[in-house]
């Protein structure tokens, strides 16, 4: 399959929500058999852009070209007819229906006006086997782990013969093993010429799956390059708009100033004789088994629980 066939081209896409523009003229193109990693900080506009591609929302301005034909906007059905499938960040399944029913959601095969259950189950099993997902077809979707339900949505996209697959942060809810399965399915789809937009916050995944990297920042496209020419540092810099310092915790000028001082604190019941200091800019972790008193100590610090003895000083004040 030639990889140079352009499947989609979004140009000059603008989108406003309630008069506030959140996309300022963004381009995005995907070729057959290509995976474009779409990156950006929270709120950069990634989901908005791909929802426009999936016909979920319409752009305020811009053009959408699919297989060379230009559309001023798409609705969900139009996008679906063109083979655009979206795996949303949020689950989009029917929790009270079975796994098999969910895979065919809305498109159950029928014979003579009746649901062809045998065909449905055989095809559902086939696609789960392709994904190497081992879950019973009769299980209720709602009883599964979020990662498994996410894989069901991917199974549904496969059944529906996706030509362009948009994955909006699927890996957030997947275990490492499930992510590996997802990647191997993406490899199969690439070989079949499916074009994909893959949104992720895990930068280490990018070099594994992406052919091209595009970064959005505050509703603008700030980088679009072949993945092999982009380093992790390039991605971070493009996402943030400046170089990240190695340590993301703020550097405090007077690191030795004690801001919270607890001396010999007891509540008379659960904990006793607790002494600890927290300095400016410091994170102190309280460890303990359930029932050991860690929550109760915090309750006392916040004034929610009476103390029997000892003292709490905040910035030196009792």
- 37: nearest Cα among 193, 227, 177, 220: 227
Smallest gap from residue 22 Cβ to ligand ATP (A): 4
For ligand ATP, the binding residue among 7, 28, 44, 120 (CB under 6 A) is 44
Smallest gap from residue 75 Cβ to ligand ATP (A): 17
Residues 46-85 binding ligand ATP (CB under 6 A) are 46-48
- What is the rounded CA–CA span in Å between residue 302 and residue 318? 13
For Mg ion, the binding residue among 31, 47, 200, 300 (CB under 5 A) is 47
**Does residue 241 belong to the site contacting ligand ATP (CB under 6 A)?**
no
Collect all residues with Cβ–Cβ distance below 8 Å to 19 and sequence separation of at least 6.
none
Question: 225 forms bridges with which residues in the sheet?
Answer: 213
Smallest gap from residue 202 Cβ to ligand ATP (A): 12
Looking at the Cβ atoms of 45 and 83, the one nearer to ligand ATP is 45
Rg (CA), the chain: 26
What CA dihedral angle connects 181, 184, 189 and 191, to 10 degrees? -170
258 neighbors 281 (Cβ within 8 angstroms): no
**Does residue 48 belong to the site contacting Mg ion (CB under 5 A)?**
no
- What is the rounded CA–CA span in Å between residue 239 and residue 41? 6
Smallest gap from residue 134 Cβ to Mg ion (A): 30
Which residue is at the shortest CB distance from Mg ion? 47
130 neighbors 154 (Cβ within 8 angstroms): no
Structure tokens at 312: 């709490």
**Does residue 17 belong to the site contacting ligand ATP (CB under 6 A)?**
yes
Looking at the Cβ atoms of 40 and 293, the one nearer to ligand ATP is 40
Collect all residues with Cβ–Cβ distance below 8 Å to 66 and sequence separation of at least 6.
7, 8, 74, 82, 84, 164
Smallest gap from residue 43 Cβ to Mg ion (A): 8
**Does residue 22 belong to the site contacting ligand ATP (CB under 6 A)?**
yes
Smallest gap from residue 200 Cβ to ligand ATP (A): 10
Looking at the Cβ atoms of 33 and 45, the one nearer to ligand ATP is 45
Which positions lie near Mg ion, rule CB under 5 A? 47
Residues lying near ligand ATP in the complex (CB under 6 A): 17, 22, 40, 42-48
């Amino acid at each position: 399959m030639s990889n140079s066939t352009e499947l989609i081209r979004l140009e000059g896409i603008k989108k406003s929500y309630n008069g506030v523009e959140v996309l300022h003229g963004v381009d995005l193109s995907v070729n057959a058999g290509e995976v474009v990693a779409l990156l950006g900080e929270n709120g950069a506009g990634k989901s908005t852009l791909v929802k426009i591609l999936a016909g979920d929302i319409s752009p305020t301005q811009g053009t959408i070209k699919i297989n060379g034909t230009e559309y001023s906007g798409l609705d969900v059905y139009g996008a679906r007819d063109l083979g655009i499938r979206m795996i949303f960040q949020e689950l989009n399944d029917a929790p009270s229906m079975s796994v098999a029913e969910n895979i065919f959601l809305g498109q159950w095969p029928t014979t003579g006006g009746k649901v062809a259950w045998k065909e449905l189950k055989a095809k559902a099993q086939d696609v789960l086997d392709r994904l190497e997902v081992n879950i019973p077809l009769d299980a209720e979707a709602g009883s599964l782990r979020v990662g498994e339900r996410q894989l069901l949505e991917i199974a549904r996209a496969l059944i529906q013969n996706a030509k362009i697959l948009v994955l909006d942060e699927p890996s957030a809810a997947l275990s490492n093993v499930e992510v590996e399965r997802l990647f191997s399915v993406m490899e199969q789809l690439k070989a079949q010429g499916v074009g994909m937009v893959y949104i992720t916050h895990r930068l280490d995944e990018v070099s594994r799956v992406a052919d091209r990297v595009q970064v959005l920042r505050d509703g603008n496209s700030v980088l679009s390059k072949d993945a092999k020419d982009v380093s992790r540092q390039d991605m971070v810099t493009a996402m943030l708009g400046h170089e990240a310092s190695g340590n993301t915790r703020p550097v405090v000028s007077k690191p030795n100033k004690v801001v919270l001082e607890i001396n010999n604190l007891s509540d008379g019941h659960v904990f006793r004789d607790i002494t600890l200091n927290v300095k400016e800019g410091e994170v102190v972790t309280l460890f303990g088994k359930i029932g050991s008193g860690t929550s109760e100590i915090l309750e006392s610090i916040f004034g929610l629980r009476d103390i029997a003895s000892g003292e709490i000083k905040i910035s030196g004040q009792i």
